[in-house]
Structure 1
Amino acid sequence: MLDGLLDQDGMETAAHRFVLGGPFGAEPPATSAERLTHFADAGGLLVETSHSYAGGQAEAAVGAWLRAQPGRLGVVTEVGHDTTGADLPLSRATVHAHVRAALAGLGVEAIDVLLYHCDDPARPVAELADTLVSLVEAGHVRRVGVSNWRAPRLAELAVELAGRGHTPVAGYQFSLAEPDPALLGGSLHADAAVLDVVRAHRLPLFGWSSQARGYFARTGGRELDGRPDPYDTEDNRARRRRCRDLAERLGSRPETVALAWTLHHPGIWPSIGPRTTGQTDCSLQARRLTLTGDQVHWLRHGR
């Protein structure tokens, strides 16, 4: 169902390119179910989670809905972190064990997209590519990819997987607000080097925190997990002001304009994390905002 859509040439056939995230496993099951159903009814295709989220409970929470409404959403999950979020060695045995547990928790025959949540720089890229391909060959996974890899390793992986007949999916932070990398806690933003690799190899990119953790809906910064807001920089405050100006002219909201900006980049699947169906609808309105090339450039650069 998803293979052709994830390729850049097939994206125009999707109802929309948003991927639904959220605090699955850390909120009441009825809240998750309502949001998942609402997203699916609006033409959504993918829900994303991780083997490590919510103390290891997130996949089971998503799986409860998938069992009740099979086939309505594809699922993206990540492996390679423990339940504290720490990186694990990506041995074949560990990865396969995590995938088997993910399949049981999600209650699916195969995971639509599996990503390494992290890199394991001590291992050759070829070894990590072989492990991913082995999961596809075993029928456990349909598409594979990585999140938070440095650009040179991502480029090497793209070549290794292409030689095995696969195009990886990439997962990075991507939004109009460019974060301070020192405050991202080890996660990586899709910077110019990463985007060069994505474009050169025509990789689908899942852009997590596409709304910059609510930055464009606020008027100031805030602490996140006890650390300063990585998005509250001088450049991003100027981008937020421009979003407000353009939203007023378009009869929209700043956060909706910022999200529409991500959709004007081919190959990007923005991940959204609404807590309510109302917030979901606010995000989905971004697909109806048509920005000019000049507006897209102005929102980012201010000229």
Structure 2
Amino acid sequence: MSTLPLNRNNRLGIAVSPIVLGTMGLGGEWDREPAAAEQIKQGHEAVEAALSIGVNMIDSADIYTRGKAESILGTVLRERPELRERLILQSKCGIRLMEPGDLSNTFDLSRSHILSSVDGILSRLGTEYLDILLLHRPDPLMDPEEVGEALRELKASGRVRHFGVSNMSAAQIGLLRTGTDEPFIVNQLHLSLGKLDWLDAVVSVNRPAWTEHGMPEGTIEYCRANGIQLQAWGPLAQGRFSGRSLEGEPPHVADTAAMVARLAEEKGTTREAIVLAWLMTHPAGIQAVIGTVSPRRIEACRGAEEIVLTRREWYDLYVSSRGQRLP
């Protein structure tokens, strides 16, 4: 069988690993209690496990466990200062978490919020600069000129070196680009073997089912055409195909998990690596931002970018997880 041409080159213009350590799991509960010693130990272990499989990039956000995730990572960097120049640090801002009396979380890409958020991120991480800042969610009230002003100030002051977005469509990125000359080099989206609307939007064009997809038309294509690195959050599909209990799941999920297990055995690797390899086989050169902080599961991702799936294997996994044949 023929194999897909694998694009392993990132589009960031800086040397980064194909797997990124996500830190949303650091810090325990999303409360205002300070990080405990056990949680700091967990941070050290997660970073060490990531380094052991060649990861050189860490992703966070100002809201993760209400700042504790960044504070823990900052403690790790303070106790191992030699790591800062070895690591690409990426964080996100733009969400205000719900407080007592609020109806909901809200999104805020105002100049003042972006600037104050970055100051908080740098303080918690204990670093003078971020390699990459992502705008976390599209804000219906965002003004491209105001956002652009904030980005220019952050770049000029040396606080942020590169910028990107998260959870944004092609049209939203295009709107933001009207307010700044700074390129957006990343778009972080929910992509995985268990979250398929980014592919279904492609194969369902010109069919009624297309209108049911959550991924706006052309988003993946826009990023590829404009040199924007696609990053996948949730790429392990919350363990659905790599050992999590499947009680209550539909039959096609169990069938896909069995297929992943079979491929892992045939290729002498882990189920986690197969799930990531499926994502990385896509020619967009997708980076996988793994959300686990378990050293065992981090280490199970080792070598995913080196696994070769045939076109038939890739499509069999896609169609199985999709639960229905392609048109």
TM range (shorter): 0.7 to 0.9
Matched, 1:98 2:102: no
Q: Which residue of structure 2 lines up, in the alignment, with residue 205 of structure 1? A: 230
Q: Which residue of structure 2 lines up, in the alignment, with residue 52 of structure 1? A: 63
CA distance, structure 1, for counterparts of residue 186 and residue 153 of structure 2: 16
CA distance, structure 2, for counterparts of residue 128 and residue 195 of structure 1: 23
* Cα distance, 1:246 vs structure 2: 2.1
* Cα distance, 1:128 vs structure 2: 2.3
Letter in 2 for 1:168: I
* Cα distance, 1:249 vs structure 2: 2.4
Give yes or no for contact 2:128–2:159 (8 Å, CA) kept in 1.
Answer: yes
* Cα distance, 1:287 vs structure 2: 2.8
Q: Which of the two has higher C-alpha Rg?
A: 2
- Superposed CA deviations along residues 103-157 of structure 1, whole A, max 9, x for unmatched, are 1110111011111111112223343234223321221111111112233212333
* Cα distance, 1:279 vs structure 2: 1.4
Matched, 1:148 2:151: no
CA distance, structure 1, for counterparts of residue 239 and residue 135 of structure 2: 26
* Cα distance, 1:189 vs structure 2: 7.0
Q: Percent identity?
A: 26
CA distance, structure 2, for counterparts of residue 49 and residue 69 of structure 1: 18
Q: Where in structure 1 are there 5+ consecutive unaligned residues?
A: 182-187, 224-231
Matches within 5 A, 1:213-228: 213-218=238-243, 220-221=245-246
Matches within 5 A, 1:218-257: 218=243, 220-221=245-246, 236-257=253-274
* Cα distance, 1:277 vs structure 2: 1.9
2:280 is aligned, of 263, 277, 290, to: 263
Give yes or no for contact 1:143–1:169 (8 Å, CA) kept in 2.
Answer: no
Matched, 1:276 2:294: yes
Matched, 1:128 2:147: yes
Q: Which has the higher helix share?
A: 1
2:221 is aligned, of 196, 204, 223, to: 196
Give yes or no for contact 1:154–1:197 (8 Å, CA) kept in 2.
Answer: no
Structure 1 moving runs of 4+ over 4 Å: 188-192, 219-223, 232-238
- Superposed CA deviations along residues 203-233 of structure 1, whole A, max 9, x for unmatched, are 112211010111112365479xxxxxxxx56
Q: Which residue of structure 2 lines up, in the alignment, with residue 170 of structure 1? A: 187
**Taking structure 1 as reference, are residues 237 and 196 closer, same or farther at Cα in structure 2, changes over 3 Å only?**
farther
1:40 is aligned, of 44, 51, 59, to: 51
**Taking structure 1 as reference, are residues 213 and 178 closer, same or farther at Cα in structure 2, changes over 3 Å only?**
same
Q: TM-score, normalised by structure 1?
A: 0.80
**Taking structure 1 as reference, are residues 258 and 106 closer, same or farther at Cα in structure 2, changes over 3 Å only?**
same
Letter in 2 for 1:17: P
- Superposed CA deviations along residues 162-203 of structure 1, whole A, max 9, x for unmatched, are x6142331111111112689xxxxxx9766532122112121
**Taking structure 1 as reference, are residues 189 and 267 closer, same or farther at Cα in structure 2, changes over 3 Å only?**
farther
Count of residues paired in the alignment: 281
* Cα distance, 1:269 vs structure 2: 1.1
Letter in 2 for 1:155: G
Q: Where in structure 2 are there 5+ consecutive unaligned residues?
A: 1-7, 29-37, 99-103, 199-212
Give yes or no for contact 1:51–1:98 (8 Å, CA) kept in 2.
Answer: yes
Q: Which residue of structure 1 lines up, in the alignment, with residue 308 of structure 2? A: 290
Give yes or no for contact 1:18–1:44 (8 Å, CA) kept in 2.
Answer: yes
Matched, 1:64 2:75: yes
- Superposed CA deviations along residues 50-74 of structure 1, whole A, max 9, x for unmatched, are 1111122211111111122232322
Matched, 1:19 2:20: yes
Question: Greater CA deviation, 273-282 or 235-244?
Answer: 235-244
Alignment partner of 2:107: what SS? coil
Alignment partner of 1:202: what SS? coil
Q: Which residue of structure 2 lines up, in the alignment, with residue 79 of structure 1? A: 93
Higher RCO, 1 or 2 (CA under 8 Å, sep at least 6)?
2
Letter in 2 for 1:25: G
Give yes or no for contact 1:208–1:271 (8 Å, CA) kept in 2.
Answer: yes
Alignment partner of 1:33: what SS? helix
Question: Greater CA deviation, 102-111 or 114-123?
Answer: 114-123
- Superposed CA deviations along residues 38-92 of structure 1, whole A, max 9, x for unmatched, are 3124321111111111122211111111122232322111111234482332210
Q: CA RMSD in A?
A: 3.0
